[in-house]
Structure 1
Amino acid sequence: MVKQFKAKKSTIFLSLLLISTFVSCSKIDKETILSPNVTEDIKVEENEVKVTLEKGNSYLNDNDFANAKLTYEKATSIDKVNKDIYLQIKDKYLELTRFDDALYFVQLALNNNTDIDNMKIISDNIKSKFEITSIDKSLYEGESYTLPSELSTKINNENVSIPVTWNNSVINTSTAGTFSYLGTNKEYSRQFNATLTVVPPIVSAVVPPVVAPVIPSVVDEEHCYVKNIYKSNGKTYIDVDLVEFLRGNAALEGAIKDNNSKVGTNDDGSKFVPDSYYIRDNVHTQITYEVSQNSTFNLAEFHIYPNSSSNGTITVPVPYDRFESYIKSHINGDYRPNLCLIKFKNNVVYDVSYVYTP
């Protein structure tokens, strides 16, 4: 009886030992089988990301921005939590100063909960590079005015009119003073400033014979690069970058003061600037002015009549549409062809004339 019990006990022990050995071997075999596959999958994924990024870079270098964006999106979808993918794409766009595209992929990283703290810092840094469009307008007490619902700004280096939401859309001109308004566009993370100066109306005393009261106009003129001209809510607006157009000795003095590369040296050691003019544009600030409905627009005669023998100093009046077409054909390149002299009364432009430079 004792022998039978010992034999039975031995059998149970051997069975447990075999089961344990089998289970242990199965686990080891499983790890041995899966590990190479997992490693290979990772390598395939990394290679796919690399190839896709290179393809996106190629599109970007060819200025095929639509396909570049689609290809980069595909790269991020392969590995949504890899922060290096987003950073590489962001850097490529920043090299081309395409801030909006760079911000898009930083925001995509935030949406995918990737490197959140760092991406928020990068996002704020990119937004700080966006230019703020400003509007200056003078009004009389009691005069009605509506802030524009759309304004032009640069989106990926192109002038685009976008909707603006103002912090206060109700303009109260019942009291004289200077009032500031903040406009935003959340889609493009843009800000706009409007400064309205309300002045009391000037009432002339009525002395026989009766003479209609005359409101004096503040007349001024400025040289500028015209960056855009457009219509919004039935009104015309012009975006400009004000510059100094210096001639003769003033041009030479200004160029020397700015240490500009245009300054040359004659054989006798004296200094000069080519063609005796210098355009000073040390502060790149875009300002938006309202354009009078009766404004005149002037372009060089040779712009209108290709066979004209006149130089660019002779200008001729042109319709608004013709002037707008000329300006928009030059806004994405060298702004010098858009050098103009604008004349305005009370901050409303009434004349825009092309300025010839040799």
Structure 2
Amino acid sequence: MEGFVIAVDRGRYTCVLPGAGPDAPTVTAMRARELGRKSVVVGDRVGLVGDTSGAPGALARIVRIAERSSVLRRTAEDDATTAEGRLERVVVANADQLVIVSALADPPPRTGFIDRCLVAAYDADIEPLLCLTKADLAGPEAVLDYYAELELPYVLIRPESELDALRSLLAGRVSVLVGHSGVGKSTLVNRLVPQADRAVGTVSAIGRGRHTSTSAVALRLPPAAGRDGDPGWIIDTPGVRSFGLAHVSADSLLHGFPDLVEGTLDCPANCPHTPDEPACGLDAWVAAGKADPRRLASYRRLLASRAGESDPRGEPEPGGERPGHG
């Protein structure tokens, strides 16, 4: 039987079967020994044998992992390495869309984190979507101006607003939600899937959130009233403080900044694109008004962070302020 992994917990994998309705029992499975060291993650499509009835106490075995259409990865820190290589982990498999959830206030938006998520999305060949929450507390102009050259799709979320626009962008897709703790991601998940019963945290007076989700989980979106077709899946992930990019090559890192790519055409061969490289074409590109200087600064911070030269969580935000971590 084919299965779709929706949760992972201490060596047990919760799967749903194709065509099963929202009320159908889930199947609990374990990895077969013949898979060796191959990891199974949320979003994987797997082959199941054994007891797939979903009855209490039943246990199936995962004997095959289907080829993944996409793999979203991250490392804890940009320069995290061991003797065996980089400390990277697969966040989810087979996602179509990365929904980057950012609050417009309390806590303030951190474009450095958003830039990292965009790099990871482009590297994984996943389409990004910017979801700006708490739009009742602040306007989106500063953030949207920063990404003006990218034509980045976005949606604004207010506490009492309908979610029809967001549901339309999620329909028929597997979308993974990422964001700092405190940005309202769990609240958004509970609104999209009322039966999800995800914990909703509170944000302290200094704008630092508590981690409210401890593991990734895939949730089937309920059918929208008056709409046919697959409503889609969302994969909720734990709140993260950093999105390390040690697994992303320098070339792929640049392609996470598509507004800067053309500016490198005049660079010398093997240009490192660092501030101390006098022949780098990016400085002239920005000076000519063809890209936002803050974008170039963010790109160079990521380059330095990958080399272990800076704190990967310390990027200044629009307006020059450096909000607290979290």
| TM-score, structure 1 normalization | 0.22
More helix by share: 1
* Pair member with larger Rg: 1
More strand by share: 1
Greater RCO (Cα-Cα under 8 Å, separation 6 or more) = 2
| TM-score, structure 2 normalization | 0.24
